[in-house]
Amino acid sequence: MKDIKCPYYWFCGETFNVKDLSKHDSDFVNDAISKGMAFMFIHCPKCKTQIQFNPIKWEETAMYDNPNEKEVTKKIKTKKEALDILRNENIKLITGYIDFLSKKNSTLEVSIIEGRNKFRLYTLSELCEKVNINNEAYLQIKSIAGFLKSVPEELKEWIEDEIPFNELMNCLIVGYENTSYLFIDNRDEKTLWIFESGDIYIKKTQFELNDIIKNMKIGR
């Protein structure tokens, strides 16, 4: 197999082979090749950072931007512009949460799991930004569908034990911590879950969306 180059050139940039990966990642690459998958995640064996990888085209993509490069300023959407986007995409967020986000002028972080870094909540404008996942565009709020599009069948079966896969594809992401995402259960539109995009698993939390809105128990 050809070598893979870590795309994080500003702090790593090392070249490695599939055999240098962890057993989990190495097995995952071989399985992805056999199934014709075009999207997966691996970790650089040198710097341990997560990489988006296409085993069909043998292309690696950084998941994080170089902080040393000038960032293009994104146009912040007004509340009306954001609501128009959500409406056009038939995305429903409870009014209380929309009002909650509209009143927050600073970055809001919430503590979901004790001993773990806090999750940063997306602003209303950020939820409506388009993100690129495996060369396809998704609204940030609907980006879980992009992450799940190429999940192996055996992982789908495991996920189905928690949430039906077709329901999960329609869940709404509201925050993140590194490669983990906080999302709302599409079935009751209130229960908060965590989706780990690296190892592809989901975990139910003890919180609901109203806990954020009321600023009780959570985020203190």
pTM: 0.67
For 120, the domain range is: 79-213
State whether residue 54 is helix, strand or coil: strand
Task: Output Rg (C-alpha) for the chain, integer angstroms.
Answer: 18
The continuous run of DSSP H or E covering 194 comes out as strand 191-196
Same domain, 55 and 88: no
Domain containing 177 — which CATH number? Answer: 3.40.1580
In a domain, 209, yes or no: yes
Same domain, 98 and 146: yes
Cα–Cα distances (Å) from 145 to 3, 131, 142, 183, in that order, read: 30, 12, 6, 12
* Beta sheet of 191-196, edge-to-edge order: 109-110, 119-121, 172-177, 180-184, 191-196, 201-208
Residues 6+ apart with CB under 8 A from 137: 130, 131
Same domain, 145 and 38: no
Give the number of domains in the chain.
Answer: 2
Same domain, 20 and 102: no
Q: How confident is the model at residue 105 (pLDDT cuts 50, 70, 90)?
A: low
Residue-wise pLDDT for 144-190, tens only, equals: 998 888 777 777 777 878 898 889 999 999 999 888 899 999 999 99
What number is the average pLDDT over the span 30-48?
89
Do 121 and 212 meet the contact criterion of CB atoms below 8 Å apart?
A: yes
189: left (phi over 0), alpha (psi -120 to 50) or beta: left
Same domain, 142 and 197: yes
